[in-house]
Structure 1
């Protein structure tokens, strides 16, 4: 429940320019007040009157809401981890530690719940936008009846800003065509400095200020890093607001890219962590060390035990080769450096609140992770996460060792071995994506508010979910949830305020949040006043390309835990209490119906290429007559698993020409059509492991030319996914490069990219933003010095014949029988 705001508070002389007022919050924005002055025929006989400025209730705090990325319970030193996080330690010592904070098991669903106070399916984020489907719980569209905390605080007189990751703008609304109502600036945040999407190259990110893409790193490649730049920008923002109006409270959502892949810390931080030798004895020993630390801190019960190491899933450390051990240690040191580096920069932001004299009345909520640690690098890790999303998740150590010296630099898009991820989720097991295991959903959090919280250094064990953050902030500010926003009746807030836990007298009070469902890609759980019903894990996060569970609601093995007695989910009671299992299954169904969880879908990779309403939907031909850059992947022509033809009509000047005609993707996966020393080139970058090139042998003579690259695909395409069959994806094909109708190069490709290009890169015409697809040939921006008259792209997608459909139906039946 959210407390009712106190009666309207008015300061100053009514009608004067300095008068202020709070608002009832029944509707946002508040209606314009009736004019209270006097109007006569002339100004001398009239009396002016100004509407009072809207302000929050007296003593409403500044709010700094921090959420890190892909970080499990055992990552920070604050909760027993070995990675130094002194900023989080500081907030814990000045406030409270919470060890029962729950996420949704995946990034943007958690973030949607965090900013709205509603469950992730309630606001359309059953999965990430890149997997969105046309159902209310999965369309990645936050409804107008569910205003964000940014919007509520903005209309109540706060300055509102969002820094870092924005993974709540639909992938099909992320271009300069808009619409912008689901960008941060359209959701109640006056200022945005960050990236749009799930990942970001921290060295050269797809960075925006509000809705304009910016490139502050140009000319500083390998030196500039977003982790520091973001803190710099936040410090500048809050200083500007304070110097302009010291009385105006600030709300900042601070969402660094760390520790989501790619792990991109600076060399200074890697050297610091490497010198500590934290990981030399392997991931099993790391897990034991973290667990012992957690017991010493009183974060984990003394009688708790760990689940066994999953030898059938992750190879024990002692069975690794010397190269694997060396590689894995490098992987985890870079990850740890990234976490420590991010915590340090967060500390600079908090220190600025103190330097401005604002920290005493600032509510700091610092959540470690939007889900458990990611295992999307697979058991071996990867130098390129884009490879994982294309089904390449078991690159041998000898291949990865080629990237050893540049691991974590701008030349990798790196992720670590899942063995480390398992250890960083201690005392729990499993990972991000696994909504039925605490390793995927049990985060931790520290909270400080010096003016309010006096039980400093305390620990809180109450159940808290990310949907509880909004009602807590509103109660702290004395602001009611609005009934109407922009004339639209608002859906109820679904979270429960945990403000009561700030008081020492409530340190051991029962949890007020009693029931909570969890569901992610067909794995699900139900928490009910200490009991947890969960489905047994049936898919590791790196197993994204197999057939999906056809009945994720019922085709499950069920586990039952009493978390009051068995804190970290080690003692399965399902066989002992079958009636309890039955009752909780029925309760989950009721919750699922209430919050738009149905229809449940256990597919993973198949949803990445599902049809969605982007600006290319239904189009097979695209024509461009002018250079343009920055079109995101979700809104650009999709040519994977299809035949296609690119035709460029250009004019070469007398001095010759070079430069990029068209490109999509970048260093870690994509294609480019360009002139290199006057010669036409088409290049496919296959996730930085191989590059296939077609090229003419002679420079183009001055004058007009028509260049064509034609690709004939030998596969059934994305239509196969309707049958849980991936055999039609990533198939071979033959490419032909022509100049003025004459073939200059033909080459067969034995395999093609099946799923995605590099997500954080864009589709560019006339130059190349961010990273290039082939460092050996050019450096961005590589502008085209020829005149582009017209670029035409035609895409021919495979259509399934009746015979194809019968074969796929049979294959699907066989798969289900084998399961």
Structure 2
């Protein structure tokens, strides 16, 4: 009896919920100084129930209790939030472009088209603003993650006081998921060792299927499911991420519907299209054969006419002039016209292909009978069309963004393969400018609408009642979060996980949904813009804009003006001048001064300072997982290490030493790679011979090869590279040796200046995505011997 009594007292001390209606069998005075409890007439040392209630030792006379489940407000909609990549206002057919976008058409027909909706002019910043409802500098993303500088507005960290729409809706009972592009995680946190607070899972998204960086090869993407790398193309011939993510999103929606059909979802859908590399399938490329033979100037005129016909620009809008430093189509030779038309065909195919796959996801929502209560927001592009393909385009986009041009004659060698898995193509700047019709400029330019105006459509049947309507109120990507929250009946939280939150800086667009609201004044009266020192300020129908000192295709490598005082300013009255055509700065100096002063106020408020107009030289300033290390040692097989966590061979001398054992019959396979088909290096045995290949961004390969196959047993292979710095992308001399004897020596004229790879990894004993030279091997090309130790020693940067 005493043992049973002590067990009862122990239970009383451990469990805290006891219904008051239960029959008393254990008595005591909770909180009293008495140290005894009476059970069945016996006095025992007390451990009173925490609530001072009654303990029932018999489950048949107890009432169970469960913590309540958090559920959203009644009627809260599903949310399908879609944003594509690098597509300006004149791209989609929905906004007058020549590329059919029937899914975007469908959303617009069932809801509204917005003609003055804006981004930040660049990828990461727009996406940070989109999911937080705060300006990009307020969210730490004044620039892309790869160019973060550590100042409060530029550290590439979405802090815990910037809870995302994922955090908020998850806390209110939503199923939250993210598909496609991330680009909102600091580069030094890409490693699968974490920390994961800056991954989608740490930003409130329970499920992630996508890629972490700014771009990825769509045929062999660097792909994650949650925190784990996956390789679906290995088992799915012809796999393409554009279809693969739609397939996965549909599977996810079916699983949610099967288990909790009443639970609303937030599905954030962000395909890599149409950021380079342009990778549609051949089926879609074939649909656009010959569609752009008219050239970029005639296409621009056609888009402009379509936009007026559709009413997505005012009838009195003027087409901005063609820039003097871009060639007119009629001045080109036949080869250039042929190649440039091909570039546009593949880009258009990529746009249409992505829209089609988005349509499959929308169709699944419809199939489940949930379309009527799903708020769909479809933003075509996170900035203007990209001008990062150089003035002539390229078959290899990493070369172009590092200032290495590929002549048209060399591009023509890839004409039939353009868009396939042996290219990573981008198009000429002239196409990019034309696809931003009717505006001036392109992606990266925050001062002009060619960089920031996006076509956007929104539908929610039964709530957005003016089907097919057009709305011209001035809005910004930060306005999406408050719009979703108003639709869901959820207030922006004051705290999340106990952490006080920054105020939401956007304003809801729900006031535009009703019939008759087309002419209601915009609730957004002021909005600043800034990117790389280029800036603008909108206020009450006016915008003051700096004149970009150079085209973004020049990569900011020339002499730049003083970032504070060296910029010219323009002034536009948007109530009369939709396209920023008529500069009124000279006529309205007082208005210009008023807006310039307002920019200073807004910039100070939202952490825009210090201004910085550097572009290329911002790379490499971020914290690094390799900081302070010059020697790296690995054993056995390793794959998937991100470049940010691996030893860098760029602009420095380095030595790679591999201690291996070759099996009987000879050895073969990869010892170490960084990158692959489109840039990087590889050290491997090929038919027993040691080989080191340096791949200069797909444009050129330099090869060191031993003359003899290695005998069975232990060997030491060394590749030593002496860099001819200082400076970016200089050449150097490499020596390949085996067991202390030189096997090959070669001096090369240049190396990769800034970025060896974006979407491939550092691998040891295996190659996971693409070979450094297709003529030598195909992945995974595992090393057949034993890798006792790999040591990489790097010298200091010579820049």
TM tier, smaller: over 0.9
Q: CA deviation at 1:798?
A: 4.6
Q: CA deviation at 1:550?
A: 5.5
Q: 1:799 to 1:349 in 2, by over 3 A?
A: closer
Partner of 1:268: 283
Once the two structures are superposed, residues 404-423 of structure 1 have per-residue CA deviations (whole angstroms, 9 ceiling, x without a partner) of 11000001000011111111
Partner of 1:489: 500
Q: Within 5 Å, which residues of 2 pair with 1:118-133? A: 118-133=134-149
Q: Please, which of 671, 678, 681 is the counterpart of residue 668 of structure 1? A: 678
Please say if 1:242 is aligned against 2:257: yes
Partner of 1:613: 623
**Higher mean displacement: 582-591 or 770-779:** 582-591
Output the CA distance in 1 between the equivalents of 2:325 and 2:513.
41
Q: Within 5 Å, which residues of 2 pair with 1:211-360? A: 211-220=227-236, 223-274=238-289, 277-310=290-323, 312-360=324-372
Once the two structures are superposed, residues 80-100 of structure 1 have per-residue CA deviations (whole angstroms, 9 ceiling, x without a partner) of 111011111111111100011
Partner of 2:173: 157
Q: Secondary structure of 2:416's partner? A: helix
Output the CA distance in 2 between the equivalents of 1:480 and 1:504.
25
Q: 1:35 to 1:91 in 2, by over 3 A?
A: farther
Please say if 1:98 is aligned against 2:111: no
Q: 1:453 to 1:737 in 2, by over 3 A?
A: same
Partner of 1:541: 552
Output the CA distance in 1 between the equivalents of 2:119 and 2:435.
16
Q: 1:425 to 1:251 in 2, by over 3 A?
A: same
Once the two structures are superposed, residues 629-658 of structure 1 have per-residue CA deviations (whole angstroms, 9 ceiling, x without a partner) of 111122221110000000010011112111
Partner of 1:645: 655
Q: Within 5 Å, which residues of 2 pair with 1:474-485? A: 474-485=485-496
Contact 1:391 1:545 in 2 (8 A): no
Contact 2:550 2:556 in 1 (8 A): no
Q: CA deviation at 1:176?
A: 1.1
Output the CA distance in 1 between the equivalents of 2:53 and 2:633.
59
Normalization by structure 1: what TM-score?
0.90
Q: CA deviation at 1:304?
A: 1.2
Q: Within 5 Å, which residues of 2 pair with 1:359-508? A: 359-392=371-404, 394-508=405-519
Q: Within 5 Å, which residues of 2 pair with 1:798-809? A: 798=797
Partner of 1:695: 705
Please say if 1:749 is aligned against 2:748: yes
Q: Secondary structure of 1:768's partner? A: coil
Output the CA distance in 2 between the equivalents of 1:369 and 1:53.
37
Output the CA distance in 2 between the equivalents of 1:164 and 1:478.
28
Please say if 1:190 is aligned against 2:206: yes
Once the two structures are superposed, residues 45-66 of structure 1 have per-residue CA deviations (whole angstroms, 9 ceiling, x without a partner) of 3221112211000000000000
The number of residue pairs the alignment matches comes to 751
Contact 1:455 1:503 in 2 (8 A): yes
Contact 1:38 1:48 in 2 (8 A): no
Partner of 1:526: 537
Output the CA distance in 1 between the equivalents of 2:527 and 2:270.
25
Q: Secondary structure of 2:516's partner? A: helix
Q: CA deviation at 1:259?
A: 0.5
Partner of 1:69: 85
Q: Please, which of 170, 179, 184 is the counterpart of residue 186 of structure 2? A: 170
Partner of 1:11: none
Output the CA distance in 2 between the equivalents of 1:687 and 1:295.
43
Q: CA deviation at 1:39?
A: 4.6
Runs of at least 5 residues in structure 1 that lack an aligned partner in the other structure: 1-14, 16-33, 717-727, 801-819
Q: CA deviation at 1:396?
A: 1.5
**Higher mean displacement: 410-419 or 537-546:** 537-546
Q: 1:286 to 1:734 in 2, by over 3 A?
A: same
Once the two structures are superposed, residues 560-592 of structure 1 have per-residue CA deviations (whole angstroms, 9 ceiling, x without a partner) of 001111001000000011111112111111111
Q: Please, which of 573, 580, 600 is the counterpart of residue 591 of structure 2? A: 580
Output the CA distance in 2 between the equivalents of 1:516 and 1:797.
43
Output the CA distance in 2 between the equivalents of 1:215 and 1:585.
51
Q: 1:37 to 1:52 in 2, by over 3 A?
A: farther
Contact 1:389 1:756 in 2 (8 A): no
Contact 1:37 1:47 in 2 (8 A): no
Partner of 1:767: 766
Q: CA deviation at 1:38?
A: 7.1
**Higher mean displacement: 544-553 or 706-715:** 544-553
Partner of 2:12: none
Please say if 1:83 is aligned against 2:93: no
Q: Secondary structure of 1:406's partner? A: coil
Contact 2:725 2:798 in 1 (8 A): no
Q: CA deviation at 1:545?
A: 4.9
Contact 1:629 1:764 in 2 (8 A): yes
Q: Secondary structure of 2:591's partner? A: helix
Q: Secondary structure of 1:546's partner? A: coil
Q: 1:647 to 1:545 in 2, by over 3 A?
A: farther
Partner of 2:779: 780
Output the CA distance in 2 between the equivalents of 1:170 and 1:548.
29
Q: 1:786 to 1:550 in 2, by over 3 A?
A: farther
Q: CA deviation at 1:41?
A: 3.6
Once the two structures are superposed, residues 669-702 of structure 1 have per-residue CA deviations (whole angstroms, 9 ceiling, x without a partner) of 1100111111111110011111000110100110
Q: Secondary structure of 2:528's partner? A: strand
RMSD across aligned C-alpha pairs, in angstroms?
1.4
Output the CA distance in 2 between the equivalents of 1:449 and 1:123.
28
Q: Please, which of 101, 105, 108 is the counterpart of residue 124 of structure 2? A: 108
Q: CA deviation at 1:502?
A: 0.7
Q: Secondary structure of 1:53's partner? A: coil
Contact 1:548 1:602 in 2 (8 A): no
Runs of at least 5 residues in structure 2 that lack an aligned partner in the other structure: 1-18, 20-49
Once the two structures are superposed, residues 734-784 of structure 1 have per-residue CA deviations (whole angstroms, 9 ceiling, x without a partner) of 000110111111100111111111211111111001111100000001101
Output the CA distance in 1 between the equivalents of 2:641 and 2:579.
45
Output the CA distance in 2 between the equivalents of 1:43 and 1:613.
57
Q: Please, which of 125, 135, 140 is the counterpart of residue 151 of structure 2? A: 135
Q: Please, which of 538, 541, 565 is the counterpart of residue 554 of structure 1? A: 565
Contact 1:522 1:549 in 2 (8 A): no
Once the two structures are superposed, residues 226-274 of structure 1 have per-residue CA deviations (whole angstroms, 9 ceiling, x without a partner) of 1111111101101110111110001100001111001111111111121
Contact 1:36 1:49 in 2 (8 A): no
